[in-house]
Amino acid sequence: MVRLGARRLFNCRASRPAGAAKKLPLALLVFFAALLYSQIQPPPSKIPGTPGGPPVTAPRTRLRDGRHLAYLESGVPKEKARYKIIFVHGFDCCRHDVLNVSQALLEELGIYLLSFDRPGYAESDAHPARTEKSIALDVAELADNLQLGPKFHLIGFSMGGEIMWSCLRYIPHRLAGVAILAPVGNFWWSGFPPDVVEEAWRVQFPQDQRAVWVAHHLPWLTHWWNTQTLFRGSSVKHGDPAILSREDRIVAHKFMERPYKARIGVVQFEQVRQQGEHDSLHRDMMVGFGTWDWSPLEMENPFAGAVDEEVKVHLWHGAEDLYVPVQLSRYISKKLPWVVYHELPTAGHLFPAADGIPDVIVRSLLPGDE
Ligand SMILES: *[C@@H]1O[C@H](CO)[C@@H](O)[C@H](O)[C@H]1NC(C)=O
Q: Are 109 and 103 in contact (CB under 8 A)?
A: no
- Map 220-249 to HEC letters: HHHHHHHHCCCCCCCCCCCCCHHHCCHHHH
Nearest alpha carbon, ligand 1 atom 3 = 102
72: alpha, beta or left, given left = phi > 0 and alpha = psi -120 to 50? Answer: beta
32 shares a domain with 129: no
Ligand 1 contact, 140 CB (< 6 A): no
Mutate to test the pocket of ligand 1, among 94, 99, 100 (most ligand atoms within 8 A of CB): 100
Minimal CA–CA distance to 110: which of 98, 121, 119, 101? 101
Average pLDDT over residues 187-213: 95
Most confident of 33-47, 255-269, 277-291: 277-291
pLDDT at 307: 61
82 shares a domain with 149: yes
CA separation for the pair 361, 353 (Å, rounded): 11
Ligand 1 contact, 169 CB (< 6 A): no
pLDDT at 13: 45
Q: Are 189 and 330 in contact (CB under 8 A)?
A: no
3-state DSSP assignment of residue 313: strand
Residue 191 CA to its chain's centroid (Å): 22
**339-344 and 312-318 strand pairing:** parallel
Q: Is residue 62 part of a domain?
A: no
pLDDT at 20: 64
Average pLDDT over residues 214-230: 91
Nearest alpha carbon, ligand 1 atom 10 = 100
Nearest alpha carbon, ligand 1 atom 13 = 254
pLDDT at 9: 41
Q: Are 276 and 46 in contact (CB under 8 A)?
A: yes
338 shares a domain with 221: yes
Please tell me which residue, 304 or 261, carries the higher pLDDT value.
Answer: 304
Average pLDDT over residues 125-153: 97
Q: Render pLDDT for 52-70 as a digit per residue (tens, 0 to 9).
A: 899 999 999 999 999 999 9
pLDDT range class, residue 50, cuts 50, 70, 90: very high
322 shares a domain with 243: yes
Per the structure, how many domains does the chain have?
2
Identify the domain containing residue 192 by its residue range: 67-300+310-365
What length does the chain have? 370
Q: Are 246 and 346 in contact (CB under 8 A)?
A: yes
- pLDDT mean across residues, the chain: 89
200 shares a domain with 339: yes
114 shares a domain with 27: no
360 shares a domain with 282: yes
pLDDT range class, residue 230, cuts 50, 70, 90: confident
pLDDT range class, residue 106, cuts 50, 70, 90: very high
How large a percentage of the chain has pLDDT more than 90? 71
